[in-house]
Structure 1
């Protein structure tokens, strides 16, 4: 998240600096002539001290953000000798008050009031008011300046807090949007892998047979070519389905095409057998209850990926697929096939299949394990009946 300035001291623009110094000049222009008229001599040491300290007070204002309390005290005391310094002293006092910390406010306020009293003592103005009333007026004016500064500080802090909240909310929204995009990409990747890997592996297997086997009859070659054409067409159809139904072109909402269920596993097995694989399949589900769609879809994808892996890495072997379960025990899927022997088609490996299957199983509260068991490769999955 980007860093923001402190609420008590936001960065100053050129315009902000200009009107602050213009305000100091305006205050000095109102106060200084009054004292000039009250003096008997404006050419002596008093006048020189007045001008020098007044100009010095304007110069030290550049340091008020680095040393606000020090500059507030110094300009306040300078104003006790130079009415020209009244403007810088006012700005320094207001600047300190924006911090809304009582100790600096009290220290600077006392210094400002002391300077005003010194000015009344050394350069009195014949305004016809008793001294105590003039002192009270000084106290009221200084208190008003401090109060105005504290109001400015409070408003700055409110705006700074609102800005910080808005930036934090925007950053969190970006994180949520990024996560949503990542989840969607992962979902698309899984869907693409599940749909296309099965088709492409069959194309690769039959194409490899045509390339390396010289003993095929014309009928066998035509059959393999037909399977390649059919699977390629199905792969293109599946690809168009994935790309076409992920989002509604009008609403932009995610859509789902009809998803496979548990009953489609048998069709998947028959399709693999028709493609030349040897698959032994049996299913024993107690209670006669229909398998929930989400569970059936997960089982279908796992069987599909298991058959694809067996076709790629262990061609010519027999794949055993066993499904069992009940409402109480959940559903268990066991796939076994001998470790590969014979020619293997050179198909690229994505490395995402088994990882994606494990994620699918975890999403429905299940687990997936795979590995070697002697001379067999075993894929074992358990999924609760109601995730």
Structure 2
């Protein structure tokens, strides 16, 4: 996992600060409400019972001081969780102002989901409840068994709340880790698809390069050993050598451009472009027909008359784009009509458009695509110096690509 960026660290710190601030504000407000209610009720009970109010002020001052101490300790609960929460709960035995802080501290400790800590703090909470009844001057205090039952119920509610919050946090963390792992896996799969496509292109170019070099070697050998060649034949042979050397150098640049530390071990699935582009395209259309997709091939007049002038790498790019587009149609729109259109300006650009209708019931089709075939096409067309895009409407899917006529 990559380290968090400065912006992400700042966001985490801001979130923690805000979480502490709103909890502090909540416990202060709730503490004041509990403080006022408890001491007003205690004063009214003492007056009704004819008790003395002389010591009431001292208890109220002690309540406030212990409550402020609990507020100060609450932000430190993450450093020594059990000790800090235990002290806060102990202070709540003599301070109604500290009661909300103790409740929030118990919830916070329970989110850790540690059985020993939960048992220990529950015992401290029950002991604090009994100490509250024994020390503070409550004339109308309930019987001990009722106070014990109430303390158990309150403690159980706080612990269950903490366990729920802790479980939810763990679930979110697991889901986030899974999402990050899936994203890393997806990125790796896409990169492998790109590398596979680069390897395939390089191997195809290697075949073409080997052919060029063999022609250069053949005609250079003729110049070396044939001493009876006329000047015209010698010039023609030298021209063939020069032209094929130039084309070989161009092919070599293309190979080096796409072969970036990619494993080039032998692969029996290596394909070579057939000598005729039109024959290859018609074979692909026939295969699509045979698979159940009615397919039509339309080639502009200007392109049809000059298509044999395409360089071998461009022929391979054209065939691969059409092949992958038709394969994609057979996989995700079986039985639907498909149109293949070729256009462009000879000597400048070659345009390809493959359009297929979408099945009327998407749920009856195959599973969702992985997208690696289109990823490979994007990489191939980009390497060829062109661009590829896809469009989807309610009833059809269109793949469009272009690349230079000669590269």
Q: TM-score, normalized by length of structure 2?
A: 0.53
Counterpart in 2 of 1:245?
Answer: 319
Q: Take 2:328 and 2:202, find their aligned partners in 1: how far apart are those partners?
A: 15
* Candidates 61, 84, 88, aligned match of 1:75: 88
Q: Give the direction of change, closer, same or farther, for the CA distance of 1:57–1:249 in structure 2 (3 Å limit).
A: farther
Counterpart in 1 of 2:34?
Answer: 31
Q: Take 1:116 and 1:252, find their aligned partners in 2: how far apart are those partners?
A: 76
Residues 49-198 of structure 1 mapped to structure 2, 5 A cutoff: 49-127=62-140, 129-198=142-211
Matched, 1:21 2:95: no
Matched, 1:227 2:301: no
Cα deviation for residue 123 of structure 1 reads: 1.4
Q: Give the direction of change, closer, same or farther, for the CA distance of 1:90–1:180 in structure 2 (3 Å limit).
A: same
- Contact 1:60-1:71 within 8 A present in 2 as well: yes
- 1:92-111, CA deviations, whole angstroms, 9 ceiling, x for partnerless residues? 10011111111000111111
- 1:69-88, CA deviations, whole angstroms, 9 ceiling, x for partnerless residues? 11110100011121111111
Q: Take 1:53 and 1:128, find their aligned partners in 2: how far apart are those partners?
A: 22
Q: Take 2:222 and 2:62, find their aligned partners in 1: how far apart are those partners?
A: 106
- Contact 2:129-2:147 within 8 A present in 1 as well: no
Cα deviation for residue 26 of structure 1 reads: 3.4
Q: Take 2:247 and 2:167, find their aligned partners in 1: how far apart are those partners?
A: 70
Q: Take 2:320 and 2:54, find their aligned partners in 1: how far apart are those partners?
A: 90
Matched, 1:47 2:60: yes
Q: Give the direction of change, closer, same or farther, for the CA distance of 1:178–1:25 in structure 2 (3 Å limit).
A: same
Q: Give the direction of change, closer, same or farther, for the CA distance of 1:112–1:214 in structure 2 (3 Å limit).
A: farther
- Contact 2:133-2:141 within 8 A present in 1 as well: no
Q: Give the direction of change, closer, same or farther, for the CA distance of 1:244–1:77 in structure 2 (3 Å limit).
A: same
Cα deviation for residue 140 of structure 1 reads: 0.9
Q: Take 2:326 and 2:84, find their aligned partners in 1: how far apart are those partners?
A: 60
Q: Give the direction of change, closer, same or farther, for the CA distance of 1:48–1:245 in structure 2 (3 Å limit).
A: same
Cα deviation for residue 3 of structure 1 reads: 7.2
Name the structure with the higher helix share: 2
* Number of aligned positions between the proteins: 250
Structure 2 unaligned segments of length 5 or more: list them: 5-11, 44-52, 252-309, 330-407
Please say which structure displays the higher CA radius of gyration. Answer: 1
Q: Take 1:238 and 1:76, find their aligned partners in 2: how far apart are those partners?
A: 81
Cα deviation for residue 17 of structure 1 reads: 2.6
- Contact 2:204-2:313 within 8 A present in 1 as well: no
Q: Give the direction of change, closer, same or farther, for the CA distance of 1:2–1:143 in structure 2 (3 Å limit).
A: farther
